[in-house]
């Protein structure tokens, strides 16, 4: 019996390929037109030749970006799983270690972090096969206290969920509209227990909040500290107390690695590698579930769904990870910022899944531990000189030498193991090893998960993508311009830095074991800032040319003008074909398109510039700003009403306002010239480009100016 099924999307794939062929002919024609006419200028140093060259460069940026993106449209697939076909008993399922990451309680509300931890503990998976680790990279005493309180509450919450078959196992979500289906059509006993559980949950929240507000327990980040590890709940000790499956609890461990001012800590990548080593000598499960602290488990069967791939004998030998989409519970109907990033999770990931697998997306993925140590098909290459690769810990090396690369957990986690784990999480442990290079998560990029996934594909590993009807994981998206823009700038800067490194998909990827079309997909992501350069040139050159009376587009009656019209229509139709069929509408497409144009001349562009500047001056990797995951209620109200919030937008407003004003003035001057001369043939193309840009973003710019005036 099959555990999963992969289906190529038809007729979508056939339509995509036909469009690729037709659109490529149009693009080649445009390149020929631009380059052939460029050589007709008698003096290439004139303003007209310069403007022509710049607009040609802008069009080439669009074309190259489009070419890379066709890899994601070559063979889109969808997958489904069959849980009932898992024939092995629960005792035979592979063990699973859940790794949850947090760094700053000021930006990541502690109660929300604990909700993620509790939802992970409540997964529908054998308790003696499950371990949950919280990596606190802030070393905050309040986080440790909250975790102990969460464990106490979980002893009531887990039996309640198991007894009544609750699907929404994040308590915050359960007591919100998200858990409405789980709260209806139950008996009186359920209602009584639910009320009691709700009181206990509110008590848990109050205890944590009061402890922080009163100053009884410090709630600040401790930037300079020794490593500290505490086992909050030992499942072996728990199982001795109770043989009742309903009341059993998984292993729960708090991990705070060492941080020193004079040592590089490599951000989340360093924290993940430290946790790999710590978990390796404590539970050492062959599979890992990685979660950001603001992404809670929304489907308790997600682990079993992932195992439908990992246990498939046809896929498993080369399968590194199973990726689930990032879905947000607070996305409004209009989604004015496009925070759900539909293009990635509804289009690109499905397309990559049909080749070698989707990108490792930072959260919501089930990863084979061994994939971080070696290549598929190579069993013991990393054990030839283990100290050089993994460090001097004998306990950790022993965990790699057992059957299948994993060691059985001891009866109890002793003080010796905790002491060894604290040594494994010190700053100096990685010195002289291959951690961050050949072993574990890479340190070559701030987007450690994405780049690690890319390197796994380069080694020959594959991945799969599952987009279930019920979201397996739910997170909270930013609801203001500053929050999403800063996050997008950070992503683009990190991806561009990766694209400029020696490990880029063009020179390095093509020589590795990664498939050629998969290389195009990664090139599309790493060089996505090409779009912003094309946007900036098209938002400036045509309008400035109108002011100077320079023509950069063919006349209306020139056959080449029709080619430009076809290119525009083809591009819009391609974009709409990806948005509307995926549960969207014309309005949805318009919001996404407007957001992309806005970000193209602001956040995406600044991210690309930042990466290039840092590459030149050699400062990349020095700083990383954590996104604020605390949601302001007033900002949320504005977002839900479809109103932009520009508070804190800062420098991002400058290019947006500048280009909008430039296009507006250019359009007015050009239109005036057409009216006076009654000749529109030469300038219509530029007028259309300028008016389209103004039409798309003018309402946003008016809001920005109004906000700045009020401020």
Q: 619: helix, coil or strand?
A: coil
Rounded Cα gap, residues 552 and 482, in angstroms = 35
Rounded Cα gap, residues 70 and 347, in angstroms = 11
For residue 489, give the nearest of 651, 275, 689, 299 by alpha carbon: 651
Q: Which backbone phi and psi does 312 adopt, to 5 degrees?
A: -75, 115
Sheet with 296-297, edge to edge strand ranges? 296-297, 473-475, 327-328
Give 257's contacts (C-beta < 8 A, 6+ positions apart): 135, 137, 227, 265, 270, 271, 274, 275, 425, 426
Rounded Cα gap, residues 367 and 96, in angstroms = 10
Rounded Cα gap, residues 689 and 501, in angstroms = 35
C-alpha torsion angle, residues 73, 318, 439, 421 (rounded to 10): 120
| 187's tokens | 């008996």
Are 328 and 340 spatial neighbours (Cβ–Cβ below 8 Å)? yes
Are 472 and 309 spatial neighbours (Cβ–Cβ below 8 Å)? no
Give 504's contacts (C-beta < 8 A, 6+ positions apart): 498, 523, 526
Q: 81: helix, coil or strand?
A: strand
Rounded Cα gap, residues 57 and 51, in angstroms = 10
Q: Which backbone phi and psi does 659 adopt, to 5 degrees?
A: -65, -35
C-alpha torsion angle, residues 18, 19, 24, 27 (rounded to 10): 160
| 14's tokens | 């056939």
Rounded Cα gap, residues 613 and 686, in angstroms = 31
Are 53 and 512 spatial neighbours (Cβ–Cβ below 8 Å)? no
Are 329 and 474 spatial neighbours (Cβ–Cβ below 8 Å)? yes
Strand bridging mode 130-136 / 251-256: parallel
| 342's tokens | 């539909």
Query: Among all chains, which residue has been given the structure tokens 């100096």?
Result: 428
Supply the DSSP symbol for 347: I
Are 463 and 322 spatial neighbours (Cβ–Cβ below 8 Å)? yes
Neighbours of 107 (CB within 10 A): 16
Supply the DSSP symbol for 73: G
Rounded Cα gap, residues 193 and 206, in angstroms = 20
Query: Among all chains, which residue has been given the structure tokens 């519970």?
Result: 329
CA angle (514 as vertex; 510, 518 as ends), nearest 5: 90
Task: Region of 681 please: left (phi>0), alpha (psi -120 to 50) or beta.
Answer: alpha
Query: Side-chain half-sphere of 404: how many Cα atoms within 13 Å?
Result: 12
* Bridge partners, residue 319, by sequence: 462
Rounded Cα gap, residues 445 and 455, in angstroms = 11
Query: Among all chains, which residue has been given the structure tokens 């992501």?
Result: 525
Give 450's contacts (C-beta < 8 A, 6+ positions apart): 359, 360, 361, 362, 494, 495, 498, 525
Instruction: Provide the CA 250 distance to its chain's centre, in angstroms.
Output: 28
Compute the residue count for the chain: 711
Rounded Cα gap, residues 699 and 610, in angstroms = 28
| 24's tokens | 């490529």
- Give catalytic residues, as residue numbers: 137, 449
């Amino acid at each position: 019996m099959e555990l999963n099924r992969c289906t190529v999307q038809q007729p979508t794939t056939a339509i995509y390929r036909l469009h690729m062929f037709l659109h490529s002919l149009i693009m080649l024609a445009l390149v020929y037109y631009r380059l052939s006419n460029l050589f007709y200028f008698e003096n290439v140093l004139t303003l007209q030749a310069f403007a022509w060259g710049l607009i040609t460069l802008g069009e080439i940026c669009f074309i190259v970006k489009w070419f890379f993106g066709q890899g994601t449209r070559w063979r889109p697939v969808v997958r489904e799983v069959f849980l009932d076909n898992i024939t092995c008993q629960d005792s035979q399922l592979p063990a699973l270690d859940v790794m949850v990451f947090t760094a700053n309680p000021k930006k990541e509300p502690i109660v929300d972090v604990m909700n993620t931890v509790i939802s992970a503990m409540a997964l529908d998976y054998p308790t003696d096969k499950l371990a949950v680790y919280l990596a606190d990279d802030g070393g905050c005493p309040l986080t440790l206290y909250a975790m102990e309180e969460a464990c106490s509450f979980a002893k009531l919450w887990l039996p309640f969920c198991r007894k009544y078959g609750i699907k929404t196992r994040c308590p915050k979500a359960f007591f919100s509209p998200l858990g409405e289906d789980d709260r209806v059509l139950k008996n009186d006993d359920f209602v009584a227990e639910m009320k009691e559980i709700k009181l206990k949950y509110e008590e848990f929240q109050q205890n944590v909040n009061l402890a922080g507000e009163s100053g009884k327990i410090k709630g600040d980040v401790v930037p300079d500290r020794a490593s500290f590890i505490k086992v909050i709940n030992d499942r072996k000790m728990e199982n001795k107390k109770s043989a009742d499956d309903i009341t059993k609890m998984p292993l729960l461990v708090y991990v705070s690695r060492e941080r020193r001012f004079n040592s590089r800590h490599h951000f989340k990548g360093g924290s993940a590698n430290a946790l790999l080593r710590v978990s390796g000598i404590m539970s050492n499960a062959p599979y890992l579930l990685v979660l950001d602290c603001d992404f809670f488990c929304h489907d308790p069967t997600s682990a079993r769904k992932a195992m439908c791939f990992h246990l498939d004998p046809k896929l498993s030998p080369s399968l590194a990870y199973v990726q689930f989409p990032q879905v947000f519970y607070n996305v409004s109907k209009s989604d004015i910022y496009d925070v759900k990033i539909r293009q990635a999770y509804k289009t690109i990931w499905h397309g990559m899944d049909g080749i070698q697998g989707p990108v490792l997306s930072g959260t919501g993925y089930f990863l084979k531990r061994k994939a971080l140590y070696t290549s598929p098909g190579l069993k013991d290459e990393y054990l030839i000189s283990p100290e050089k690769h993994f460090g001097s810990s004998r306990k950790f090396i022993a965990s790699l030498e057992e059957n299948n690369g994993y060691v059985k957990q001891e009866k109890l986690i002793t003080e010796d193991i905790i002491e060894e784990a604290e040594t494994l999480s010190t700053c100096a442990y990685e010195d002289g090893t291959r951690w961050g290079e050949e072993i574990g998560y890479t340190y070559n990029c701030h987007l450690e998960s994405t780049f690690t996934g890319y390197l796994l594909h380069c080694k020959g590993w594959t991945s799969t993508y599952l987009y279930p009807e019920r979201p397996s994981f739910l997170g909270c998206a930013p609801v203001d311009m500053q929050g999403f823009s800063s996050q997008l700038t950070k992503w683009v800067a990190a991806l561009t830095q990766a694209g400029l490194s020696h490990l880029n998909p063009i020179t390095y990827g093509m020589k590795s074991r990664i498939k050629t079309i998969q290389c195009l997909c990664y090139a599309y992501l790493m060089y996505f800032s090409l779009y912003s350069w094309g946007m900036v040139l098209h938002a400036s050159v045509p309008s400035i040319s109108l002011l100077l009376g320079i023509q950069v587009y063919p006349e209306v009656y020139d056959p080449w003008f029709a080619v430009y019209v076809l290119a525009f229509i083809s591009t819009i139709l391609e974009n709409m074909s990806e948005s509307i069929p995926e549960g969207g509408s014309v309005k949805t497409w318009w919001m996404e398109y407007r957001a992309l144009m806005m970000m193209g001349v602001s956040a995406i562009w600044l991210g690309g510039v930042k990466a290039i500047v840092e590459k030149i001056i050699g400062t990349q990797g020095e700083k990383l700003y954590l996104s604020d995951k605390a949601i302001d209620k007033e900002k949320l109200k504005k977002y839900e009403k479809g109103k932009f919030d520009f508070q804190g937008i800062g420098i991002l407003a400058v290019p947006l306002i500048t280009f909008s004003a430039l296009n507006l003035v250019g359009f007015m001057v050009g239109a005036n010239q057409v009216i006076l001369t009654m000749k529109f043939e030469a300038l219509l193309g530029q007028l259309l480009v300028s008016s389209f840009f103004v039409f798309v973003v003018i309402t946003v710019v008016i809001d920005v100016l109004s906000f700045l005036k009020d401020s």
